[in-house]
Structure 1
């Protein structure tokens, strides 16, 4: 029996997927923040606080540059620009129009972004979070004593504070929700990697065995028949040797597609080994499974893989077995394997059921 295909290591893949999710989040941060500061630039220009209008236009420039860095995969530079903008902008805004404007609230958005960042060292996260804390406390301590550069009316300051408070909560909710969706998507992709064969997209051996254990439990409860079909591509080694592994992979994909589409809805197909496939058939007797296997054999025999001007015909040999009560999965699989090799010895491209 062939060696099963390797399974992707979920830990490394998970780390990469989470990192990609974080940088996708940074794209959204740049877009949302850039548009927000552009709006603020217009508002402050209208209010006559021209210094703040220019500060916001500078922020728009920095977020645009950060977005460009992310597009060029210069992620660290983009992160430095984003962090610098938030810290410097908050300090300048409070200095320009006062603490009561509420622009210091945006420093709070930095904390969850730092925590969920893809920085590997926890010490870096602690250091950056501590820097945000120190800046916030420093602003709180000093800006109450300093007269702002632009003195706005109490009504305008109250409106700005309410807006900034609402915007801060909205940003925290938006970023948290977006990151949750990105991570959920990454976890879903991880589950697919962990349960399917990467080449054929069929179940891998481990996930098939888990499913088979479940079906065996169901069979003990309901005493319904359960069949196994082991199939092997005929002369597959010759295909690889004569045409190369790329053509062999194309054959495997073509056969996998036929098998997955032609089995019954309740059946499950797995890539069991190199060119071997195992099919689990709940509620199928040995006779019914043999009939399905014959239909699969006919459909696979119609498969043609074109290589340049040459066409490769494909065929498969099938071994069929039926589960017996109280036996583990190995029992019917081994009997299907024996029936398969009987078919190979008899000339291939046929269905052989175990002797009852």
Structure 2
């Protein structure tokens, strides 16, 4: 607008104001989902302004560079590939036509060579800045979407913690790095009763409540993932036995001190836990299975407790008594 006021051509000033209005209309259409009409009227108005400016001011002023911005927007748009190619071809054809026959048709530059060179350099610089800005926006959107897709791939949609795949991958990384770690497998006691008595939406709220409290009680380097309906797996890197036991006690204490509120009701949820250490088995799957067996022992022994020893076989010691185990895990 300042440039058109400077060259004192009212037609260009009016046309520029019209383009501003068209862009505002395009923004409104875009926000309401009319993507293709918004793009077409926006780019058409910009191209008309470029052509008219060239016809009134002459060739080699630099307004033709803005055609590359229009081409760039077509390429990155949501149009079908066939339409992108078609519009790009039409734009390039019109670009060559206006350079050959249209520019300077209605007038020539009359403010002297230094002013013309200055305007040419200005238009070239602005075109470069705009293309760089659009490319940066595309990069930011791409990075944001990629992070979102990665988050969706590795996060449990209900609780926001890692899903089974993600937490197992992190445990596998520690295993191959030969770093010591502890695994804590956790199950919410009598969770089926919560769903039966209060509904599945209440059960979802309880799971989110548990996940949030567990995260708050963990160390910065610890990881938590949801591996089943009401089961969570906590990975404790570099944790010794006594340290892992202390963390487990803190988790149970955190949940006991902060019961879940369902409307006017307060629901106390207890946890059963099975703890295993990486050095106890020769394979990661066996370490996880050992924590799983100890979790079932904790539930079989009355729930609301942690089992950190035993469980290597069906002949195991629980509180000094021999537990031979059921013939199938379904009985647990």
Q: TM-score range by the shorter chain?
A: 0.7 to 0.9
SS at match of 1:99: coil
SS at match of 2:106: coil
Contact 2:174/2:180 (<8 A) preserved: no
Contact 2:158/2:204 (<8 A) preserved: yes
Change (3 A) 1:318 1:254: same
* TM-score normalised over the length of structure 2: 0.87
Aligned residue in 1 for 2:165:
206
Deviation at 1:275, TM superposition (A): 0.6
Distance 1:329 1:235 in 2: 29
Aligned residue in 2 for 1:111:
71
Which of 260, 268, 286 lines up with 1:305 in the alignment?
A: 260
Distance 2:78 2:57 in 1: 35
What pairs with 1:45-84 in structure 2 (closer than 5 Å)? 45-84=5-44
Change (3 A) 1:163 1:340: same
Distance 1:243 1:325 in 2: 40
Distance 2:13 2:177 in 1: 69
Deviation at 1:258, TM superposition (A): 1.3
Contact 1:301/1:316 (<8 A) preserved: no
* Aligned positions, number: 310
Deviations 1:290-324 (A, max 9, x none): 23212211211223222232211111110111223
What pairs with 1:180-219 in structure 2 (closer than 5 Å)? 180-219=139-178
SS at match of 2:221: coil
* Structure 1 residue runs without a partner (length 5+): 1-39
Deviations 1:130-152 (A, max 9, x none): 111111111111135x5334653
Contact 2:226/2:233 (<8 A) preserved: yes
Distance 2:265 2:135 in 1: 55
Contact 1:247/1:307 (<8 A) preserved: yes
Which of 35, 42, 51 lines up with 1:91 in the alignment?
A: 51
Aligned residue in 2 for 1:176:
135
Change (3 A) 1:229 1:136: same
More helix by share: 1
Deviation at 1:239, TM superposition (A): 0.6
Deviations 1:184-226 (A, max 9, x none): 222222222222112211111111121111111222xxxx532
Distance 1:162 1:217 in 2: 58
Question: Which stretches of structure 1, 4 residues or longer, exceed 6 Å deviation after superposition?
Answer: none
Deviation at 1:49, TM superposition (A): 0.9
Identify the structure with bigger relative contact order (alpha carbons < 8 Å, sequence gap 6+).
1
SS at match of 1:101: coil
Distance 2:287 2:273 in 1: 14
Which of 112, 116, 128 lines up with 1:154 in the alignment?
A: 112
Aligned residue in 2 for 1:283:
238
Deviation at 1:325, TM superposition (A): 6.8
* TM-score normalised over the length of structure 1: 0.81
Contact 2:51/2:102 (<8 A) preserved: no
Contact 2:61/2:120 (<8 A) preserved: yes
Distance 1:302 1:323 in 2: 30
Pair 1:333 & 2:291 matched = no
Distance 1:125 1:198 in 2: 36
User: Alpha carbon RMSD of aligned pairs, Å?
Assistant: 1.9
Q: Which of these two proteins has the greater Rg computed from alpha carbons? A: 2
Distance 1:265 1:173 in 2: 39
Distance 2:119 2:278 in 1: 73
